[in-house]
Amino acid sequence: MEHIAAFLLIIGCSEDLTQCRELPAPAPVFETIEDCDAELTYAFIDFVGAHPQGFDQCFEVDPLLTEADAEIVWEITGDGHLHASVEPIDGSEVVVASNLESDGTEAAEGR
């Protein structure tokens, strides 16, 4: 069984960020966050020009969560930040959350 420690999320949006949708990542799961980060540039290249605004982000996933029912929850804020988290389906707690800053750097925070 593959150990999943990171997930790649790609989002395409309209210019005004009112319409956004997940785009299929070529390889959405990775064993390490470093492996995922190395794939970021190549993963998004297929979508350049397809959407006026694009976001891609790697975020860590608690390996124990792969044993439970969970979902990826994301939003694009009005100021252009992608916020994503992996949450148990019952919603009792947020396991990992991170966001992409407007300057392209990644900032992670646990909740």
Domain range list for the chain? 6-109
On whether the CB atoms of residues 88 and 65 are closer than 8 A, the answer is yes
Confidence of residue 80 (pLDDT cuts 50, 70, 90): confident
pLDDT on residue 37: 92
Q: Considering only 6-10, 55-59, 63-67, 85-89, which range has the smallest mean pLDDT?
A: 63-67
Q: How far apart are CA 28 and CA 33, in angstroms?
A: 12
Q: How far apart are CA 55 and CA 51, in angstroms?
A: 10
pLDDT on residue 65: 65
Q: How far apart are CA 66 and CA 77, in angstroms?
A: 27
Model confidence at 10: pLDDT above 60: yes
Confidence of residue 66 (pLDDT cuts 50, 70, 90): low
In 3D space, the residue among 2, 1, 7 whose CA is nearest the CA of residue 86 turns out to be 7
Model confidence at 104: pLDDT above 90: no
pLDDT on residue 85: 83
Model confidence at 105: pLDDT above 50: no
